[in-house]
A = this chain, B = another copy of it.
């Protein structure tokens, strides 16, 4: 491992500082991030930023990538902190961690799961980190199957094309997972995302002051749907 030159280290520091300042602007001003404002905050001129990021969208992409990883790390850490065989506890921990991260970083969450920025297409680098939360959720189901604590739902009538799609997804994660169970896991993930988005984008607050309880109840409902056992 060769020691990086001074220039390289300074450059890495600048990259970090730009992203930090940009993240701060994101949290206050929302998604329409101003490159010039970031540069101004750093005592630089806007054109200097282009030495580090070829365009504003690239800066956004970097922020999105880091946000995906931060969310994924938070979710995985929450899962790790619970005993492996406490399936329902893991489920709730993961859901709460995702919500907590979103509430703590609303602008970044909006960047990840809000309406796509027009004219901006997320590069392929993002699909990996983006799948970490749902993979954790499905991992709980897999562990439940493996230890026999989770009995898969009765094999309901799935249309063949859908069954094949689900089987292919399962093959990439945990081969042999029953399609109906995977579908329910995805329902849980969709529900989790919908819950957080509703809460964050302000379509629920008015008439539902006790949001923690509501969130826990709704995620518990999905845990029931999936069939996670009640007590560890």
Contact = CB atoms under 8 A, between A and B. Distances in A.
A190 B165 CA distance: 24
**Within the oligomer, what is the number of copies of this chain?**
2
Could you say which interface size class chain A belongs to?
Answer: 35 or more
Contacts of A187: 191, 218, 221-222
Given A159-B213, A165-B207, A165-B208, A30 B127 contact: no
A191 B192 CA distance: 9
Interface stretch (A83-91, A114-122, A141-149): A114-122
Interface string A105-118: 00100110111111
Given A159-B213, A194-B191, A113 B30 contact: no
Nearest to A201: B116
Contact of A191 (B32, B191, B217): B191
Interface of A: 29-32, 107, 110-111, 113-119, 122, 127, 130, 158-159, 161-162, 164-165, 168-169, 172, 183-184, 186-187, 190-191, 193-195, 197-198, 201-203, 206-210, 213-214, 217-218, 221-222, 225
20 contacts: A31-B118, A32-B32, A114-B115, A114-B201, A115-B115, A116-B202, A127-B206, A130-B203, A159-B210, A161-B209, A162-B210, A165-B207, A165-B209, A165-B210, A165-B214, A169-B208, A183-B221, A186-B218, A187-B191, A197-B197
